Structures are given as structure tokens and as C-alpha cells.
Amino acid sequence: MARNYRTRSGSGEIDIVAWDGATLAFVEVKTRVTVEHGAPESAVDAGKQERLQLAARDYARRAGVAWERTRFDILSVVLERPPRVEWLRDAF
């Protein structure tokens, strides 16, 4: 539905907005070269989650989607050989 969605106020951004069946998924993509400093998904802390939720509420309101039909996912990417990609559904 959208990539790099930003609120008009600039207070939040969502990397990917996509339908997964009847659920609107707000997906945060985190990429790291290695896991030396932690898994990519560990960067989605409470502050980041709050900003994502703010932007998601804005998107859902504008799209006319009930909040109960939404969820938050994280796409965790580690650029190893071969790359490791993990889709964490309903991450928070």
C-alpha cells in the first residue's frame, strides 16, 4: 500500500504498509551487516515503537481502517553470506 510513509507533521515514518489478508501490517525494516552489536530488531526500542504507532494511527485513520485490523511487524535483515531475513509478525 505504501513505502516510507511519513506523517504530515514529520513525527513518524513507516517503512512498509501492506495488507496481509484482512490485516493491515505496518512493517519496520532493520538491516545490519553483522549481529556484532545486536540483532537488527533490537533497534526497535520503546521510543521507536511509539513513533511507529503514532504514524500508523495517522495512516489507519486516513485510510479508514479500524485499529483492531492492524499489526506491527519487523523485517530483520543481516547481510551475511547468505543474507538472513526474518519476518517477525506481530512484533509489538
Instruction: Please tell me the distance from the alpha carbon of residue 58 to that of residue 83, in angstroms, as a whole number.
Output: 33
C-alpha cell at 80: 551475511
pLDDT 10s digits, 38-67: 999 999 999 999 999 999 999 999 999 999
Domain range enclosing 48: 2-88
Domain of 64, CATH number, reads 3.40.1350.10
Residue 80: the pLDDT is 93
Instruction: Please tell me the distance from the alpha carbon of residue 21 to that of residue 42, in angstroms, as a whole number.
Output: 27
Residue 59: the pLDDT is 97
Residue 9: the pLDDT is 84
Total domains in the chain come to: 1
Confidence tier at 77 by pLDDT (50, 70, 90)? very high
